[in-house]
Each structure stands twice: as C-alpha cells, then as structure tokens.
Amino acid sequence: MPQYEAGTFDVIVVGAGHAGAEAALASARMGAKTLVLTMNLDMIAFMPCNPSIGGPAKGIVVREIDAMGGAMGRVIDKTHIQMRMLNTAKGPAVRALRAQADKVLYQQEMKRLMEEQENLSLHQGIAEELIVEDGEVKGLITQVGGIYRAETVVITTGTFLRGEIIIGDLRYSSGPNHQQPSIKLAENLEQLGFETVRFKTGTPPRINSNSIDYSKTEIQPGDDVPRAFSFETTEFIMDQMPCWLTYTTSETHQIIDENLHLSPMYSGMAKGTGPRYCPSIEDKIVRFSDKPRHQIFLEPEGRSTREVYVQGLSTSLPEHVQRKLLESIPGLEKADMMRSGYAIEYDAIVPTQLWPTLESKQLTNLYTAGQINGTSGYEEAAGQGLMAGINAAAKVLGKEEVILSRSDAYIGVLIDDLVTKGTSEPYRLLTSRAEYRLLLRHDNADLRLTELGYQLGMITEERYARFLEKKDHIEDEIKRLRGIIIKPNEQTQEAIRNAGGSELKDGIRAADLLKRPEMNYDMIASLTESDIALSDEVKEQVEIHVKYEGYIEKSLQQVDKLKKMENKKIPENIDYDAISGLATEARGKLKEVQPLSIAQATRISGVNPADISILLVYIEQGRIAKV
C-alpha cells in the first residue's frame, strides 16, 4: 500500500470517546497542536452503555475534570434530560450529582466543542501501526497509508482492541454497538511488548417507549432545583424527563434458570473477566438466588428518540430469551425490543506498565487512557483522558508533568490504583477507594483543582478571577464567624429553641454555635450582622468547613504524613537487584511497578514495612555516597 505524509502534530490522540475527547481538548487548550484520529466522526463521545453521567465518586470526577478546565461537565449540563443530587441525606463528603443524558445531543455538543477548539484537528481514520524509533513513539500510520508524525501519542481505544461481541452461542469480532473493532493496532501493541489481559463487560436491551405500560411502574423524577456539574454553567435545564422503576418477577428468574445453559457466561463461551459491580442479570440470579426480585430502571436515551435503556437487565442470553425476559417484567409485557443486550470482550493493557503520568514505561512518548487501561465507565475514562492529554502536551511544551495525589482528587486515586496495584477486573471508582474522601468532596472540587487548571492554561482569566473571589469570601466569612461572640439574648435563645437545641448559658463564638448539629449557616447568619451578600456556594463551604472542622483536621493530618512519604523520591535508575535484604516477592513487585516515591511503594501489595525500611536505607546510602 502506498503511504503518504498526512501531517505533523505535537500530540496525536487515537480515539474520540470520553477519554480521547478530554485528552485532545486538554492538549489543544494548553497550546499543543493536536490531532484526533477516530474511526468514525459520528461516534465522538458516544455512550454505548448507560445514557447517564455521574453518580457517587464518578460525579465527583466530573466536577474535578471541570475544575481543571475539562469538557464533560459543561457538555452534560447542556444536554441532560434529568439531573439529581444523590445522598442528600448523608454527609457532604458523599454527595454526588448524576444526570441522564440525551445521548445524541451529548455527542453533538462534544463534537462541536472539539471542532471549535483552537489547535485541534479532527480526522477520520484507523490507526494501525505506531512509528517507533529507538524505543520512542514518533507517530502512526493509518489503514489507508497516512503517515501522521507527532512528539507524543495518546491511545484511547476503549473496548475496540480485538473486541468481540457475544450473544448466546454467537461470537463475532466487533467493537461496541457493532462498530469495527481495532485488530491491527492490537497486534501492533502486542509486538511492541505490551502485556494485555482479556476483560468483559455487557449491556442490556433497549426497548421502544411506546410499548411500555408505565402505569405498572414507579416514576423516578429528577430534582426540581437547578443543578449543574460545571462551575461555569449559568443556564439550567428545568424541563426534565423522568425515569421509571419496575422489578423482575419469579417468572423472570425461572426463564433464566431454564436457559442458563445458553448463556455464554455459563456455557464457557465467554472467557474474559467481568466486573463484579456490574453483573449480568443471569449472574445476579445465580449468585443471589434467595432474592425474590431485582430492580429494573427504565431510562430514556434522549428527547428525540423513543429508545429506552433497561438498566438492571444486562445480559448476553440469546435474543429470543431476552424477549421472553422482558415480557415477564411488569410494564414490559408488550415491550418492543429494538436492540438486544450483549457481552463484549476486549484486550486491556496491564496498567502497571504505565507511569503515574499514564506514559508507557517501555515506549517513551506513548500514553494510554480510558478503558484500554482496564477501567470501566465514561467518567473514569474522561479523568484519565484529561491527565494523559495534559501530560502528553506538557512533555511537548517543556512543562512539568502533572500527577494528582490520592489526597488531591478521585482522579489521583484512580490513576494511582491502576499504576500501583493493577486491576484484576474492569476497574470502577467507588467512594470506598478514597482514603481522604472527606477532603475529596463534590462541593470543593474547584477549591482543590482550579488553581492547577489555571496554571496549565486551561482556565480562563475571567473564571479564575471569580474563583479567587469565592475563595476570599469563604476565608473571610470563616474568620468572621470565629471572631464574633453570640450573646444569650432572647432572640438567640428563641432561635436555638426553635431549632430544637438547648439554650446558651454564656456567650459563644458564632463558629462554635454553628458546630451544633441542629444549627445551620443561615440561622447563624441571622444572629450576626453582616452586610456582605454571600452566594449559596460560599455559604455551603463555610458551613461544611466549620461544622466538620474536627474531621477535616484529622484527615489533613493524615495527608500531611502522606505528603512527607511522597516527597521521599525513589531514584529513577535504582537497581532493585543490588539491594540486599529485600524479600523476593517485594523485589519482583518493585521492579514491575517502579514506584516514584516511598509513598507509592508502600501501597504495592507484597511490599512490607521491612522492605520499605531497607529501601529507605539503600536510597539514603546512595545519597550519602554521591555527596
């Protein structure tokens, strides 16, 4: 096949899913000349599974992406059909937003953003081979012989690498939603020495809304107050569409029992490792046989379509069994199935082959992000995409690399888990994975990360000025409440009585009164005179900060210890074989992961405190020897 020079860029991003889109936008916004190469320009930021974004932990990732200047939050704010704040009855640390997306609008909006982005080109094409010289990536070649050259390349191919769809006893080569799989690139990566694992995920059937009897289901509306992911959003969509809830029946369970031998998961057809948190309906019924019913959520896929996503019914049973399953569910007796559910197997690279910047250890200048790294979920993909894009561009632009700590962001937790521990199943973020979740809140994502986004050139001056003003307001108000003494006069006592608290005996600092469980910021504000009008976001920050000061303080102390360990760097050229006394298992793991700091080394399973001590002594020995 004749080849031709198709162009030279600073950064090339292969793939334009949720990881690719963020990577490309970040790179371009930072000022690197960036190309996105995608198989199909109509599938940018496509949602092959749930038409929803956010949720616990994941929703906080979207806020973090936005705080650093990423796109996901802004796009979903413009294209959702419903938005809800979850866990409102719990503490501030675990609140999170979730939106139902209009799938088509979401794609269109993301595509428009990318098209309008300065420094960014969108080309359709299939990457088949990386150009590698002296262990460094220099560009890639497409299926039609186009040679694209670049300083760095980011691969975000999702589940396309050797993708195979499985339905019943059918198995065929395919990307998600029956698109072309990526086979040549998978072979190329294998040749280049990447170790891969075989993962599996699945999706449920879609049905026509007109064929649903909603009277047999329960309505699940969105919140009726304005909500937004992005700190930039000022217009809110209040015209929302509800979701609906129904349940499986004993008949559903019987159908599955009778047809279990046809399920690829049980017939041995499927070999990849599936995620435990996202089991198929057949899995749920086998593993939790004592449960009489399971929830099924009916989620509209958008305003311009009647397609409805049947959440809870992920399956790879043959199509005719899927139809029977639907008919056994109240409200879906006459359901018209438009697309069947399926399982998909794909190659993921073992993520311990990556540095915390998401750059490959064996192939310099190559970055990978998203499902190819063994994760699942749009938000996890987008978060990695953002960081890979930032680092790929930073390298070209001669800027410092950016690694988020576990105490900075959920994105930091996600990437550290991947590159330090690897994963034995498709990785999903859960709040329990974060040690400092009280610090990694939905509400303070901007306070944590906007400064960084601004330094990287991803936050506009105007937004940054607003951010600084908000920060000042919060600090000033906390200072004010700590200084003011509230006297036990009749007005105060009445307010406290009305709130159900016990009356004051003496004067009390406003901040201390706010700490009482029954008090909130507005009550305190009404008892203290102030002429500054504060925004709801500022009030929220002040309240959380004062009320949970003790807990926050404890977390900060732990973070302090973590930081000290993170500052103990491990030299790049360390020779673990030369360190006597390391346990064999620890030596192997250290060689594999190549941790950058002592903190990272302590998180590797199989490396125990004695090994860490020995490592410290060895590093110190080197330091002394050099002096």
Contact residues for another protein, defined by CB under 8 A: 49-50, 55-57, 86-87, 90-94, 204, 220, 275-279, 284, 287-288, 291, 294-295, 297, 311-312, 314, 430-432, 438, 517-518, 548, 551, 554-555, 561, 564-565, 568, 579-581, 605, 609-610, 612-614, 616-618, 620-621, 624-625
Beta carbon nearer to another protein, 341 or 453: 341
- Which residue's CB is nearer to another protein, number 533 or number 625? 625
Strands (E), 269-370: 295-300, 307-311, 337-339, 342-349, 366-368
The amino acid sitting at 429 is: L
- For the chain, give the number of residues: 627
CB of 276 to another protein, least distance (A): 4
Least Å distance between CB 22 and another protein? 23
| Cβ atoms 21, 110 nearer than 8 A | yes
**First vs last Cα of the chain: how many Å apart?**
58
Residue number, 86 or 183, with CB nearest to another protein: 86
* DSSP code for 317: S
Angle (CA) 50 161 5, round 5° = 115
Q: Which is nearer to another protein, 182 or 248 (CB)?
A: 248
**Closest separation in Å from C-beta 87 to another protein:** 5
Cα distances (angstroms) measured from residue 142 to each of 14, 36, 184, 259: 11, 13, 10, 44
Cα 98 to chain center, whole Å? Answer: 13
Contact between 299 and 100 under an 8 Å Cβ cutoff? The reply is yes
Q: Shortest approach of another protein to residue 523 CB, angstroms?
A: 15
Least spacing, CB of residue 183 vs another protein, in Å: 28
Residue 449, φ and ψ in degrees, nearest 5: -125, -10
Nearer to another protein, 314 or 450 (CB): 314
φ, ψ (nearest 5 deg) of residue 569: -80, 145
Region of residue 492 (left: phi > 0; alpha: psi -120 to 50; beta: else): alpha
Distance CA 549, CA 390 (A): 34
Burial bucket for residue 285 (CB in 10 Å: 0-12, 13-18, 19+): buried
Nearer to another protein, 530 or 613 (CB): 613
Q: How far apart are CA 162 and CA 418, in angstroms?
A: 21
Q: What is the closest distance, in whole angstroms, from the C-beta atom of residue 613 to another protein in the complex?
A: 5
Answer for the pair 94, 87: CB distance below 8 angstroms, yes or no. yes
Q: CB of residue 258 vs another protein: minimum separation in angstroms?
A: 21
Taking the least distance from each CB to another protein, the nearer of 179 and 220 is: 220
597/590 Cα distance (integer angstroms): 11
Tokens of 264: 């690829």
Please say which residue, 438 or 474, places its beta carbon nearer to another protein: 438
Q: Pairing state of beta strands 164-167 and 206-208?
A: unpaired
> Tokens standing for 171?
């198995």
Closest distance between another protein and the C-beta of residue 59, in Å? 11
Residue closer to another protein (CB basis): 483 or 500: 500
Q: Give min distance, CB of 293 to another protein, in A.
A: 8
Based on CB atoms, which residue is closest to another protein, 163 or 312? 312
User: Shortest Cβ distance from residue 555 to another protein (Å)?
Assistant: 8
